[in-house]
Structure 1
Amino acid sequence: MLLTQLIHPEISAILAAAGHHSTILIADGNYPALNKRGPHAKLVSMNLTPGLITCDQALKALLTAIPIEAAMTMQTETEGPYALDGDPPVWHDYRASFAAAGSKVQLQPLEKWAFYDHVITADHVLTIQTGDQQRYANLLLSVGVRMDE
């Protein structure tokens, strides 16, 4: 029996094969997961119904399984139908999840098209498609290094 909170067999296998600098995308329910991914990335659909699972739930499971050295978000728009004043609420959830896991990782917002460019690289190994309906919930994680002391 696994001790980690992450028990999904396919995700666990992909993470076990991933190495330093590999990237994992936790995609919200609106992300074009089929066509905006790396050439070798696996797509695991965890979008059961709108709102389930959430990106933060996926993040919490991953934080129990792998070291994360960087986290990029899609920068919010300041004009148009998707504009927000300030950070989206989901970013506060991410910060709380990183802090609860003892991580000092800070969110790094990237302009929308730059975010896509970071995803569609050969380093991208996994997309976890969620049912999260929150705006700007996409989160691109960079795998860190295991530091046994």
Structure 2
Amino acid sequence: MLRDIPPILSPDLLWSLAAMGHGDTVVIADANFPAEGLGPRCHRLDGVSATDALRAVLKLLPLDTFVEEPAFTMQVVGDPQAVPEIVAEFQQIVNATADAPAKLGSCERFAFYEAARQAFAVVQTGEFRLYGNIILTKGVIGG
């Protein structure tokens, strides 16, 4: 047992978060996301919301301060300016939990999939709210 680690994070997911280097990315995805077919290691958190997963991951993972958008979401198809409720909640969690809060960026659906293909890992949650997907870029842990 370890102290102060959110219990929803599995040992395999903890390994991925620890093994990631500065600039590597991790996707937190909803239940509809094509996670298994993209290529990166997929960690399943069935029954866990994307917002709870984000809160838990940000407790351990610093956001990159050297990139303009260290966290970004998928734009709504046909309405790229829309901000789904879950995306607004993601922003609140980043503001409250991240060691370096940042304004969320966004990108078109297929650009998001391409960015996800390049991720170190994907965390597939049980989230059923549409557009419950976010990509985080890992920053540096200072000494």
Tell me whether the two structures share a fold, i.e. TM-score over 0.5.
Answer: yes
Find the partner of 2:92 among 76, 96, 102: 96
TM-score, normalisation: structure 2? 0.85
Which residue is 1:5 aligned to? 6
Quote the offset at 1:103 in angstroms.
3.3
Q: Which runs of 5+ in 2 are unaligned?
A: 65-69
**Equivalent pairs: percent with the same residue?**
27
Q: Superposition pairs for residues 60-71 of structure 1, below 5 Å?
A: 60-69=55-64, 70-71=70-71
Deviation at 1:84, TM superposition (A): 8.5
Match runs of 1:78-117 below 5 Å: 78=78, 86-101=82-97, 102-117=99-114
Distance 1:85 1:142, change over 3 A: closer
Cα deviation digits, residues 30-74 of structure 1 (max 9, x gap): 00111124xxx2111112xxxx21111100001111102211111
Aligned residue for 1:33? 35
Counterpart CA distance in 2 for 1:31 and 1:89 is 18
- TM-score w.r.t. the length of structure 1 is 0.82
The Cα shift of 1:98 comes to 1.1
Distance 2:142 2:129 in 1: 34
- The answer to whether residue 73 in structure 2 is matched with residue 77 in structure 1 is no
Secondary structure of residue in 1 paired with 2:120? strand
2:82 partner amino acid: G
Q: Please give the alpha-carbon distance, in whole angstroms, between the structure 2 residues aligned to 1:141 and 1:74.
A: 12
Q: Secondary structure at the match of 2:60?
A: coil
Tell me: CA distance 1:19–1:75, structure 2 relative to 1, closer, same or farther (3 Å).
Answer: same
- Aligned-residue Cα RMSD (Å) equals 1.8
Deviations 1:57-116 (A, max 9, x none): 1000011111022111111123xxxx6883100011111111111532221110111111
Matched residue count: 135
**Aligned partner of residue 133 in structure 1, secondary structure:** coil
> Is the radius of gyration larger for structure 1 or structure 2?
1
Q: Secondary structure at the match of 1:127?
A: strand
